[in-house]
C-alpha cells in the first residue's frame, strides 16, 4: 500500500482592528500553511489498524515537532460490490460533456468521506484510435462489473489542447458509462480546433506560438500536472489512472517538466497509475510490415533488433517513473487494461488524515522532510510520503532579491515551469579536443508582458543556466539579460510570435546535463528547461563519416535585423567559430522544427575528414518520408572544398522550398556519402509542415 502528501493552499487572514494614534486604519495580516497528510497504519498481518486518535501520532517536519490540528479517519469499504451491469446492455451516450474543474465540496459537505476517489484520465493526444478503444473498453469493464459502492469515479480527458473534466466524481455508473460511450462515438459538442492546425506562415519572425504545441512531451506532462492540481482541491486520497500509448521522454524534451509534474502530484495528494494502452506488444525483431528495412549491417549484428526493443522500453520508462515517484504502479505489457484501475482500487484502504500548520513559513520551494511515528507503545507499519516541496512566492523583490531569486531557482530540485520554454543544443567540432555548442531558446511571446519605458514598449528577459558533467561538476555557467524594444508591428506581433535567444560555448566530448532558466522581468514568471547532451568523440569514428549535429531553420537574417533574436554571442571569437554565422548573415535554428510550406528550409551540418592528406568529395541529400513512404528528395549536393585545418571541415548547406510537401508530420533524413570509400552517415528527426 502506497500513498502520499497533499500540500494545501496558504491561508491568508486579514482583519482591521482599529486605528493608531494618528487616526490611520491599522490592518494586521497573517499567513500560514496548512499541510494535509494521509497515513495508513497496518498490523503484522497487513490489516488496517482502526480506532487511533491524534494523540497516538507524533509528526515532525525537518526534525521540528508539529502540532496536529486536524484529524480524521476514513473507513473505506473493501467488499461492497453492486449488481454488475451486463456487457450486452447498451448505455446511451450522455449528451453533456465538458466541465471546467473538479468541484470541491462546500464546508461541512462530507460527500467524499469514507469513499475511494478514482479519476480515469484519457490522454487522447498520445493514443491512436485502436488504443483509445482498448482504453475505453477497459474503463467500461471496470464500471460494469468491478466498481464498488465505496468508489467515486471521475472521467477526465486531454484533447483539443486542454484538460477537460467530462464527469466529476460520482457513483452513478450509468452516467459514467454514458460519458465514455460519448467519447467512443465522437459526439463531443465542445471540441475545438487544435491551435497547431491553424498555424500560419509567419513573417520574418518565424512561425507563431502554435509551434510549441506539436512535438513536445512537455505538453502531455503539463496537462497531467494540470489534472493533478485540479484534484488537489480535495483533501482525501486520490488515484489518477492515466491511459496513454507510452510516453517517450528523449533528449529533445524538457526533463524539468517531468519533475514539475511529479512534484505537483505529490503536493496535490495524487498517486499516478499509468496504463500502457498498447497492451502486450508482440514485435518482430526488425519491425512489422509497416516498417521499412533498416538496411546495412544492423540487420545481421543485432543492432536493429536492439533499437526496436529499446524504443519500446524508453516509451514505458516515463510511465514507470510517474508511478514510482508518486506512490502508484504502472501497468505495462498487459492486455487486461482494466487491471490498472483495479490495482488503484485495491491499493486504497482505510487511512487517517493528519493536518498541521507548518512552523516553517518560508516559501523557498525547498524539500521538507516529514516523519510520522506512533506514541504509547503502539506498533504498526506506517505508510506515508516522506516529504514535499514547499511553495514558491516571488514578488516585490529588490534588485538583489531578484538576482538571488534566479540563482535559487537554478538550484531548486523542484523546477519552476510557469513560462513555456523550448531549447535546442548542437555540437560542431572546432579542433581535436573542443566542440562548439550552439544553444537556441524560444519563448512564446504571448506569455511575456511588455513594460512601458521612455515612451516605448520593452520586453526584458533574464537568462541563467549551467552545464554539469556526468559526475555533477559544473563545467560552465550562462548569465545574460536582454532588453527588446518593441515598436510598430513588433509590439503588435508579440502576442502571437515567439522570442528567440541564442548563444554558444565550447565543451569537450562527454555527457552533460544542461539546465536553463528564463524569467520575465516584468511578472517574475520563470520557465525551466533541462536536458542531457551527449557530445561524441568524433576522433574515434572509423566506420562512418564523422558529422556534426544538424541545424534546421526557416530563417536566415542579417545580424542587425534579427528583431526577435535577443541573444548576441559575446566576443569576436564566438562569431568566428560559430558555423551559424556566414557572410554577415545568421541562421536561426528552428528549435521546435515546425516549418511553413510557404517558406524555404535551410539545412546546415559539417563533415570531417581528420588527418586526410586531401579532402575527398562528398555527396549529400535530404529525404522526407510520410507514413513510411518517400515523398520528397533533393538533388545530390556534391561538396569538394574543405577548410584549411587539421579536421578538413566540410560545410554542407541546403536551401529548398517546402511547397511540394503536404501539411502534417514528416520524417526528415540527411544522408552523407563518400563515394570513394563507401562510408556514409545518416541523421533523422521528425518535422511538422504547416501552411
CATH number, domain of 180, equals 3.40.50
What is the Cβ-side half-sphere exposure of residue 41, based on CA atoms within 13 angstroms?
A: 20
Give the helix/strand (H/E) hosting 156.
strand 151-159
Task: Say if 320 falls within a structural domain.
Answer: yes
Q: Is the dihedral of CA 309, 310, 316, 320 positive or negative?
A: positive
Find the helix or strand (DSSP H, E) in which 299 lies. Answer: helix 298-301
Cα 373 to the center of its chain, rounded Å? 36
Answer with the one of 524, 543, 562 that is the final residue of a domain.
543
Closest CA to 553 of 501, 594, 598, 589: 589
Following DSSP, what letter does each residue of 548-590 receive, concatenated? ---EEESEEEEGGG-TTB----SSHHHHHH-TTEETTEEEE--
Contacts of 522 (CB under 8 A, 6+ apart): 448, 449, 450, 451, 459, 460
Residue 580's beta-bridge partner residues? none
- Say which residue the cell 574543405 belongs to: 642
Give the H/E segment covering residue 262.
Answer: helix 255-267
For residues 658 and 590, what is the distance between their CA atoms, to the nearest angstrom?
15
For 451, the grid coordinates are 513594460
Same domain, 164 and 262: yes
**144: which 3 cell numbers?**
460494469
User: Which residues does the chain have with pLDDT short of 70?
Assistant: 1-32, 78-83, 86-100, 185-216, 249-254, 283-305, 307-308, 365, 392-401, 452-456, 487-492, 559-576
pLDDT computed for residue 284 by the predictor? 65
Q: What is the pLDDT of residue 538?
A: 94
- The CA distance from 509 to 92, in Å, is 61
Same domain, 422 and 531: yes
> Whole-model pTM?
0.66
Cα-based distances in Å from 80 to 146, 148, 154, 352: 10, 5, 19, 21
* Cβ neighbours of 123 (radius 10 Å): 25
Q: According to the model, what pLDDT value does residue 21 have? A: 53
Report the relative pairing of strands 116-123 and 151-159 from DSSP bridges: parallel
In a domain, 30, yes or no: yes
Q: Are residues 411 and 529 in the same domain?
A: yes
Give the number of C-alpha atoms closer than 13 A to the C-alpha of residue 243, restricted to the C-beta side. 32
What's the sign of the alpha-carbon dihedral 549, 554, 558, 561? Answer: negative
CA distance 37 to 595: 48
- Beta strands 594-596 and 679-690, pairing class: parallel
- Domains of the chain: total: 3
The answer on 153 and 127 residing in a single domain is yes
Domain co-membership, 369 together with 289: no
Other CB atoms within 10 Å distance of the CB of residue 320? 16
The pLDDT, as a whole number, for residue 94 is 58
In a domain, 653, yes or no: no
CB atoms within 10 A of CB 631: 14
| 602 found inside a domain | no
Structure-block grid coordinates of residue 392: 514558491
Kindly state whether residue 490 falls inside one of the protein's structural domains: yes
Residue where one domain finishes, among candidates 475, 508, 543: 543
Cβ atoms of 689 and 666 within 8 Å: the answer is: yes
CATH code (residue 401): 2.60.40.3880
Secondary-structure breakdown of the chain: helix, strand, coil percentages, each rounded to the nearest 5: 20, 40, 40
Residue 219, H or E segment:
helix 217-231
533: its cell numbers: 547532451
Structural domain of residue 26, as residue ranges?
A: 5-75+353-389
Cβ-based neighbours of 407, under 8 Å, separated by 6 or more: 464
Residue 651 lies in a domain: no
* Start-to-end C-alpha separation, the chain: 51
- Of 304, 338, 372, the residue at which a domain comes to its end is 338
Strand ranges in 396-497 using DSSP code E only, listed in sequence order? 422-425, 428-429, 435-444, 451-453, 456-469, 474-486
Residues 139 and 277 in one domain: yes
pLDDT of res. 309:
72
| Residues paired with 530 in a beta bridge | 515
Q: How many residues does the chain have?
A: 691
In a domain, 441, yes or no: yes
pLDDT digits (tens, 9 = 90+) for 249-307: 655 566 778 888 888 898 888 999 999 999 887 766 666 555 555 555 555 666 666 76
71 and 166 housed in the same domain: no
Residue 377 lies in a domain: yes
Q: Which three cell numbers stand for residue 51?
A: 480506532
Q: CA–CA separation, 691 vs 680, rounded Å?
A: 34
Cβ of 355: how many Cβ atoms within 10 Å?
A: 19
SS3 642: coil
Indicate if 401 and 376 belong to the same structural domain. no
- Within 10 Å of residue 627's Cβ, how many Cβ atoms? 10
Q: Are residues 38 and 180 in the same domain?
A: no
- DSSP secondary structure of 26-56: EEEEEEEEEEEEEEEEE-TTSPBP----GGG
The residues that bridge with 300 in the sheet, in sequence order, are none
Domain identity same for 71 and 120: no
Structural contact between residues 33 and 318, judged by C-beta atoms closer than 8 angstroms? no
Query: Quick one: pLDDT at residue 602?
Result: 94
Identify whether residues 430 and 468 lie together within a single domain.
Answer: yes
**Residues 261 and 364 reside in one and the same domain:** no
Burial 279-301 (b: 16+ CB within 10 A, else e): beeeeeeebeeeeeeeeeeeeee
Amino acid at each position: 500500500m502506497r500513498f502520499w502528501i497533499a500540500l494545501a493552499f496558504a491561508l491568508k487572514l486579514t482583519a482591521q482592528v482599529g486605528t493608531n494614534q494618528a487616526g490611520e486604519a491599522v490592518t494586521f495580516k497573517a499567513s500560514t500553511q496548512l499541510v494535509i497528510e494521509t497515513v495508513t497504519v497496518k498490523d503484522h498481518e497487513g490489516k488496517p489498524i482502526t480506532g487511533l486518535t491524534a494523540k497516538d501520532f507524533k509528526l515532525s517536519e525537518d526534525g521540528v515537532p508539529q502540532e496536529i490540528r486536524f484529524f480524521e479517519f476514513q473507513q473505506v469499504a473493501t467488499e461492497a460490490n453492486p449488481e454488475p451491469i451486463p456487457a450486452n446492455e447498451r448505455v446511451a451516450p450522455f449528451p453533456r460533456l465538458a466541465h471546467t474543474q473538479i468541484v470541491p465540496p462546500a464546508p461541512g459537505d462530507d460527500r467524499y468521506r469514507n469513499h475511494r476517489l478514482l479519476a480515469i484520465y484519457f490522454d487522447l493526444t498520445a493514443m491512436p484510435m485502436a488504443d483509445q478503444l482498448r482504453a475505453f473498453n477497459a474503463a467500461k469493464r471496470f464500471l460494469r462489473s468491478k466498481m464498488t459502492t465505496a468508489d467515486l469515479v471521475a472521467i477526465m480527458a486531454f484533447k483539443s489542447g486542454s484538460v477537460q473534466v467530462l464527469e466529476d466524481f460520482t457513483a452513478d455508473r450509468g452516467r459514467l458509462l454514458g460519458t465514455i460511450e460519448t467519447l467512443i462515438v465522437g459526439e463531443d459538442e465542445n471540441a475545438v480546433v487544435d491551435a497547431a492546425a491553424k498555424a500560419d506562415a509567419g513573417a520574418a519572425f518565424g512561425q507563431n506560438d502554435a509551434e510549441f504545441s506539436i512535438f513536445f512531451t512537455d505538453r502531455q506532462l503539463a496537462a497531467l500536472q494540470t489534472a493533478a492540481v485540479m484534484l488537489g482541491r480535495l483533501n482525501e486520497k486520490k488515484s489518477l489512472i492515466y491511459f496513454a500509448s507510452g510516453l517517450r521522454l528523449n533528449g529533445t524534451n524538457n526533463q524539468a517538466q517531468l519533475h514539475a509534474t511529479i512534484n505537483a502530484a505529490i503536493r496535490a495528494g495524487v498517486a499516478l497509475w499509468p496504463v500502457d494502452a498498447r497492451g502486450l506488444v508482440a514485435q518482430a525483431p526488425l519491425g512489422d510490415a509497416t516498417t521499412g528495412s533498416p538496411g546495412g549491417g544492423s540487420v545481421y549484428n543485432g543492432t536493429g533488433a536492439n533499437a526496436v526493443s529499446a524504443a519500446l522500453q524508453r516509451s514505458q520508462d516515463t510511465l514507470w517513473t510517474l508511478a514510482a515517484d508518486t506512490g502508484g504502479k504502472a501497468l505495462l505489457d498487459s492486455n487486461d487494461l482494466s487491471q490498472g484501475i483495479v490495482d488503484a482500487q485495491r491499493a486504497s484502504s482505510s487511512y487517517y488524515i493528519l493536518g498541521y500548520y507548518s512552523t516553517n513559513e518560508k516559501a523557498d520551494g525547498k524539500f521538507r522532510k516529514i516523519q510520522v511515528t506512533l506514541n504509547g507503545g503502539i506498533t504498526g507499519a506506517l505508510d506515508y510520503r516522506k516529504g514535499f516541496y514547499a511553495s514558491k512566492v516571488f514578488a516585490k523583490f529588490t534588485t538583489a532579491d531578484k538576482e538571488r531569486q534566479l540563482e535559487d531557482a537554478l538550484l531548486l530540485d523542484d523546477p519552476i515551469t510557469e513560462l513555456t520554454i523550448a531549447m535546442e543544443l548542437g555540437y560542431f567540432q572546432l579542433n581535436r579536443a573542443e566542440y562548439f555548442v550552439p544553444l537556441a531558446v524560444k519563448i512564446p511571446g504571448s506569455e511575456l508582458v511588455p513594460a512601458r519605458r521612455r515612451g516605448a514598449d520593452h520586453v526584458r528577459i533574464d537568462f541563467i543556466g549551467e552545464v554539469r558533467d556526468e559526475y555533477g561538476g559544473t563545467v560552465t555557467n550562462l548569465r545574460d539579460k536582454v532588453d527588446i524594444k518593441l515598436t510598430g508591428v513588433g509590439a503588435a506581433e508579440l502576442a502571437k510570435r515567439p522570442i528567440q535567444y541564442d548563444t554558444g560555448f565550447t565543451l569537450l566530448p562527454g555527457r552533460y546535463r544542461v539546465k536553463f532558466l528564463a524569467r520575465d522581468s516584468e511578472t517574475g514568471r520563470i520557465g525551466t528547461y533541462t536536458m542531457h547532451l551527449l557530445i561524441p568523440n568524433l576522433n574515434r569514428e572509423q566506420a562512418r563519416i564523422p558529422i556534426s549535429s544538424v541545424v534546421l531553420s526557416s530563417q536566415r537574417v542579417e545580424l542587425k535585423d534579427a528583431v526577435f533574436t535577443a541573444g548576441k554571442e559575446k566576443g569576436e571569437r564566438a562569431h568566428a567559430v560559430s558555423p551559424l554565422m556566414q557572410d554577415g548573415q545568421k541562421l536561426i535554428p528552428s528549435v521546435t522544427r515546425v516549418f511553413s510550406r510557404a517558406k524555404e528550409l535551410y539545412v546546415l551540418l559539417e563533415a570531417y575528414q581528420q588527418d586526410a592528406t586531401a579532402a575527398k568529395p562528398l555527396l549529400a541529400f535530404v529525404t522526407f518520408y510520410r507514413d513510411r513512404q518517400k515523398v520528397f528528395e533533393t538533388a545530390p549536393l556534391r561538396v569538394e572544398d574543405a577548410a584549411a585545418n587539421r579536421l578538413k571541415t566540410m560545410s554542407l548547406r541546403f536551401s529548398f522550398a517546402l511547397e511540394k510537401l503536404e501539411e502534417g508530420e514528416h520524417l526528415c533524413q540527411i544522408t552523407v556519402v563518400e563515394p570513394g570509400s563507401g562510408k556514409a552517415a545518416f541523421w533523422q528527426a521528425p518535422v511538422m509542415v504547416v501552411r
